[in-house]
Structure 1
Amino acid sequence: MSAPIVIHRPSATGGRRVTVRGQIAGLAHDDADVVEFLRRAGLPYAEQLLDDPAWVQWRGGRAHRYEAA
């Protein structure tokens, strides 16, 4: 089973697309953006999930980095 939250590779202009259960949540420019998207998706303890591979898969680039690719 794959993680329900995917933080995709950094875009050419900066930021990372975030999907929750296959639905686009938004474009994050930092961890605070990701936490807000996850809170809106009904995950109130999102900051605790960011480094849990059972919940979050970071694709392309280093985790917690949002600079342009």
Structure 2
Amino acid sequence: MSVLPVTVYPPSPTGGRRVRIDGEILGLAHDLADVAEFLRRAGLDDIDEHDVETSALIDWRGGGPRVWAAP
């Protein structure tokens, strides 16, 4: 299994953050569990919220993994 590029974009004004994996937007995440689910759907079976929070493979834009609301 190859490692896919993962980008989590800044929080939207209405809440949530877009998640892009391998160039495709998979949806709007509202917490770490949502990001983990998107990654599982993309083929990363053994990933959980802790992995999402600590992974260097995820490019967190506009705030890290604990930022879910727009400023």
C-alpha deviation, 1:49, in angstroms: 4.2
Q: Does 1:43 align with 2:44?
A: yes
Q: How many residues align?
A: 66
Structure 2 unaligned blocks of 5 or more: none
Aligned to 2:18: 17
Aligned pairs for 1:53-68 (under 5 A) are 53=56, 55-68=57-70
Aligned pairs for 1:20-31 (under 5 A) are 20-31=21-32
Instruction: Answer 1 or 2: which has greater strand percent.
Output: 1
C-alpha deviation, 1:68, in angstroms: 3.1
For residues 42 and 53 of structure 2, the distance between their equivalents in structure 1, rounded to whole angstroms, comes to 14
Q: TM-score, normalising length from structure 2?
A: 0.80
Structure 1 unaligned blocks of 5 or more: none
C-alpha deviation, 1:45, in angstroms: 2.1
For residues 24 and 11 of structure 1, the distance between their equivalents in structure 2, rounded to whole angstroms, comes to 14
What secondary structure, in the 3-state scheme, does the structure 1 residue paired with 2:54 have?
coil
C-alpha deviation, 1:58, in angstroms: 0.4
Percent identity between the aligned chains? 48
For residues 12 and 60 of structure 1, the distance between their equivalents in structure 2, rounded to whole angstroms, comes to 12
Contact 2:5 2:23 in 1 (8 A): yes
